[in-house]
Amino acid sequence: MELEIKKLNALRKYLGEFSFDYIPPENLNLVPLCKISGAVKVFGEYEIFDDDSVEIKLTIGYCLKGQCSYCLIDAEQKIEFTSEILYLTEKDDDNYYYDGNKLDLKSAVDDAILISQPNVLLCKEDCKGIDVT
């Protein structure tokens, strides 16, 4: 999950694409009784600027499986999420940092997984919950 920015600069590849599969740690599951099923598909584009800052357009896709938050039957939801990220070689509070050599995408991908998860997982959009009658 690394981009070798120094090498890409040397090769004059200032624009490009990347893709990989990522198995996230279990602590990234926020919805109770659910888990991310299989690998997270990660793909995106990068652009390296003259000041060595790097803009990333990151897209992730995965399937969240588990029990419906309302009625507890099996449920799944396919999730796709896109974000734009800026990596800088100087630390600040608003952007990601990298050392000017290798850019590790792990923290940005983990953050995208956390942000993209729904509050609840539903078996169907209009689930009424457990039928007690």
Strand segments (E) across 1-133? 2-4, 15-22, 34-48, 54-67, 74-88, 96-97, 102-104
**For the chain, domain boundaries:** 2-116
Average pLDDT, stretch 77-85?
97
Distances (CA, A) of 124 to 10, 85, 100, 113, 132: 51, 33, 46, 22, 18
d(CA 70, CA 97): 40
pLDDT of residue 128: 86
pLDDT for 132 equals 67
The Cα 31–Cα 58 span in angstroms is 23
Residues pairing with 41 in the sheet:
21, 61
Q: Tell me the HSE value of 82 on the side-chain side, using a 13 A CA sphere.
A: 4
pLDDT tens, 13-54? 999 999 999 999 988 889 999 999 999 999 999 999 999 999
pLDDT of 133: 63
Q: What is the pLDDT of residues 54-65, one digit of tens each?
A: 999 999 999 999
